[in-house]
Amino acid sequence: MTGSGLRQQTRGYAPLRGLLVVTCRMQFFFADDSAQKSVREGMGKLLAFGGVLVHSDRLKSLSGAIDSIARAHGIPANEEIKWSPRKGSWIYENLKGDDRSSCYLAILKAALDHDCKAIVVLCDYEMRNLKPEWGFDRCVQYTLERVSTYLSATAEEAVIVADRPSGGHREADEFLASFIDHLADTHNHMLEGTFALNLLTAPSHMVRQLQLADLVVAITTAMFSGQTKWATGYFDLVKAMFIRNGFGYIGGTGVKVYPDKLINLYHWVLGEEHFSKVGMGTAWPLPNPKLLFATSGGT
């Protein structure tokens, strides 16, 4: 977006030593990825990309709330909160069982209290004989489309902040280049008007909202892969964050599975009785007997 276009869409701005201080209200989408091997019969490995939308005027309050929850559970400052904490980390060694559950549930509840919204896209790339990187690219593309569609209703813009790729500068540059390609795709004309900046990356251990995104995406991936033992107790709070379509359904909107032969999982995981496409004005009963998992969730 050009400087003049930005000024036209803001309520005010003030130059400060060469910086443009924007006073408009926008949303930040904190994004993370996950991957889990499915235990559902007929499924392979699930890749996922998604995260949480946070209003700009609630960023500081949400971060402070998570900090307070961490302190209340004895978590040291700068300790990263993750669904699968690294072996040897403080959380892995010291925050176990009910104590960890209490902490993570409180964080998810704080996200709901701050009106955070969630979007997660999952792809079984093996089912479509895709390379992993192509499957991940589909997840990113579908996530961006859903963020854009959701925000178009409120005419808000978004900034996407993603966890910094672990490989280093080269991987980060490739990730940013891929994001630019998505914005330039003529088939996704809505995207350029939604995102105020190119994607930003940040180290997740320094950004509490990215740690929240890790919980949301990993818990969702666990539920759809059938790895539900630990995730089930948290999923109601996560599910309450997902955006919904005009018919009130999450499936295909707040959560999308790819390929479409997995659509019956909206029934088994989300508890939805129909799959709908608002643009077509139609809804189909679930489970669909012509697709996978017509009679059970496959575990």
Chain segment 188-197, per-residue pLDDT in tens: 555 667 887 7
The residue among 269 and 198 whose pLDDT is bigger is: 269
Specify whether the CB–CB gap between 256 and 275 falls below 8 A.
Answer: no
pTM (2 d.p.) = 0.87
The residue among 21 and 55 whose pLDDT is bigger is: 55
Specify whether the CB–CB gap between 214 and 51 falls below 8 A.
Answer: no
Give the type of residue at 110. Answer: A
Predicted pLDDT at 25: 66
Any domain includes 15: no
Any domain includes 23: no
Any domain includes 12: no
Mean pLDDT (the chain, rounded): 87
Any domain includes 70: yes
Residue 218 has pLDDT above 60, yes or no: yes
Any domain includes 292: no
How far, CA to CA in Å, does 217 sit from each of 39, 50, 197? 18, 6, 23
Give per-residue pLDDT as tens, 144-160: 999 999 998 888 999 99
Give per-residue pLDDT as tens, 83-100: 999 999 999 999 999 999
Token representation of residue 130: 């895709």
Predicted pLDDT at 46: 95
Identify the band that residue 61 occupies on the pLDDT scale cut at 50, 70 and 90.
very high
Identify the band that residue 5 occupies on the pLDDT scale cut at 50, 70 and 90.
very low
Any domain includes 1: no
* Mean pLDDT, range 255-281, rounded to an integer: 93
Any domain includes 75: yes
Identify the band that residue 7 occupies on the pLDDT scale cut at 50, 70 and 90.
very low
Torsional sign, CA 93, 97, 98, 100: positive
CATH number reported for the structural domain that contains residue 143 in this entry: 3.30.420
Residue 23 has pLDDT above 50, yes or no: no
Of 101, 62, 42, the C-alpha closest to 211 is 62
**Residue range(s) defining the domain that contains residue 62:** 28-285
Locate tokens 């589909």: which residue?
Answer: 138
The total number of structural domains that make up the chain: 1
Determine the Cα–Cα distance for residues 66 and 104; give it in Å rounded to an integer.
10
Any domain includes 155: yes
Residue 177 has pLDDT above 80, yes or no: no
Predicted pLDDT at 16: 42
